[in-house]
């Protein structure tokens, strides 16, 4: 399978758009496997530097993870205030405590406009954005989290650091860098 929704300026991305390798993750903030992958992603980002662009898309598995939707919408609400990645990291780093109180606490720690943040969550302002990410994942064949794509191609191998790094380096060499 391949990525059906190409990476665009609407995505949350870290790294240069011209990087030879783009890693897309469809993730769920409450998923323990995504929590484990979070540290792996941070490590490969550090090692690959400018060779890697990382994109995160929401894929909350609401049946299994009742706080995943709230967390995804909270990340998007923080993103509307320019702090998506800060909230993204904080949610994964506090994954075991996910819930409405944690989200409020993190918003305060990130110095977000609390009234705007709470209004956005109350109005479910970013529900459609989260659903758009989710449906793009479904169309791309994602059926669990984390779901990875390297340069648009589905990556189904181990996302332990060594095999993931090998796949990313292989994609970089194919891209000519």
Q: Does residue 1 form part of some domain? A: no
4 domain-assigned: no
Strands 52-58 vs 12-14: parallel, antiparallel or unpaired:
antiparallel
Q: What is the pLDDT of residues 73-95, one digit of tens each?
A: 999 999 999 999 999 999 999 99
- The pLDDT-based confidence of 177 (bands split at 50, 70, 90) is very low
Distance of CA 94 to the CA centre of its chain: 15
pTM: 0.96
CATH number, domain with residue 134: 3.40.30.10
Residues of the domain holding 87: 12-174
The two tokens of residue 136 are 């793009």
Contact in structure between 116 and 122 (CB atoms under 8 Å): no
Task: Determine the number of helices (DSSP H) and then strands (DSSP E) in the chain.
Answer: 7, 5
């Amino acid at each position: 399978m391949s990525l059906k929704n190409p990476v665009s300026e609407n995505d949350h991305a870290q790294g240069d758009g011209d990087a030879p390798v783009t890693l897309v993750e469809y993730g769920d903030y409450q998923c323990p496997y995504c929590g484990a992958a979070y540290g792996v992603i941070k490590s490969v980002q550090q090692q690959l530097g400018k060779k890697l662009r990382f994109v995160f898309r929401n894929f909350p598995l609401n049946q299994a993870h009742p706080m995943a939707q709230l967390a995804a919408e909270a990340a998007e609400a923080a993103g509307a205030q320019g702090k998506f990645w800060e909230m993204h990291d904080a949610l994964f780093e506090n994954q075991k405590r996910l819930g409405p109180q944690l989200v409020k606490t993190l918003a305060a720690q990130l110095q977000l406009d609390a009234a705007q943040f709470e209004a956005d969550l109350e109005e479910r302002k970013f529900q459609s954005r989260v659903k758009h990410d989710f449906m793009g994942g479904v169309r791309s064949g994602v059926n669990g989290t984390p779901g990875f794509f390297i340069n648009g191609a589905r990556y189904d191998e181990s996302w332990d650091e060594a095999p993931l790094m090998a796949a990313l380096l292989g994609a970089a060499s194919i891209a000519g860098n």
